[in-house]
Structure 1
Amino acid sequence: MGFVRMEEGVGTPPQELFEAMDAYIGEQSAKGVFIDGGGLYGTEDAVNFVARKGEVSRVDGPYAETKEVVGGWAILQYDTLEEAVADQQEFAELHAKYWPEVTVISTLRQISMGPDAPGD
């Protein structure tokens, strides 16, 4: 699974990035790699449920203390880790090229299919 994290409130990405992402996602879909994904709005309407010490509390956004938020996500499937890492770097490079004034952290994580750790 790929995540894009960025600073809260940086605004809408430039149209050029949307166009580049459409082309990139189209290519990944054609290869059978891109399964699903999308962008996320800011935390202004977010709702968190916090479980702490056996109690659950609800916390509504926006969150003044938030510095970084998840701005988008994608579910991807690769045959090798090397392919996944190479494509995640290409994805990050699109952001660097088309939205250079914003710091974006592109994260790749493996989806757990059960209680065992990867490789078990």
Structure 2
Amino acid sequence: MPRFMGFVRMVEGGGMPPQALFDAMDKYIGEQAQAGHFLDGGGLFGTEDAVNFVVRKGETTRVDGPYAEAKEVVGGWALLQYDTLEEAIAGQQEFAELHAKYWPECEMVATLRQVSDEAPEAASA
């Protein structure tokens, strides 16, 4: 059964979601988990404590947050499982529509990507 990763990207510091959204999300996630679609997920803290390792030209550099230049950050994630891509898309749309209904002033992007179950091919040198 195909697995998918859902991401929520939004402007950092956009305020706390209203309680109505938390309540709607608890219900939605509970239903999705009971149906076997929601496997795991959660919200993420802000970038103030984030750590990035940037690789450029064979060098690794550590860059600590916060990141003032970042316009959008990943605010949450979910590991999902559906029988078909179409079902996964419908589920992600329903998730996004909950935000539009219960937090209309929020600007966010809900991204859905399928998880690859195949081993990556090694890059040729």
Normalising by the smaller structure, the TM-score range is over 0.9
Deviation string 1:18-77 (CA, Å, 9 cap, x unpaired) is 100000000000100100000001101100000110000000000110100000000000
Confirm or deny that 1:80 pairs with 2:84.
yes
Q: CA RMSD in A?
A: 0.9
1:115 aligns with 2:123: no
Q: What is the number of equivalent residue pairs in this alignment?
A: 116
Aligned-partner SS, 1:109? strand
Matched, 1:59 2:59: no
Aligned to 2:30: 26
Deviating more after overlay: 67-76 vs 104-113: 104-113
Correspondence for 1:100: 104
Task: Report the 3-state secondary structure (helix = DSSP H, G, I; strand = E; otherwise coil) of the residue aligned with 1:65.
Answer: coil
63, 72, 75: which one aligns with 1:71: 75
Distance 1:58 1:112 in 2: 28
Matching of residue 50 in structure 1 with residue 54 in structure 2: yes
Unaligned runs of 5+ in 1: none
* Runs of 4 or more above 2 Å deviation: none
Gaps in structure 2 of 5+ consecutive residues: none
TM-score, length-scaled by structure 2:
0.90
2:66 maps to a residue whose letter is: P
Q: Give me the identity figure in percent.
A: 76
Q: Secondary structure at the match of 2:109?
A: strand
TM-score by length of 1: 0.94
Residue 97 of structure 1: how far off its partner (Å): 0.5
* SS in structure 1 at match of 2:82: coil
CA distance in 2, matches of 1:9, 1:42: 8
* Structure 2 Cα separation of the partners of residues 100 and 84 of structure 1: 23
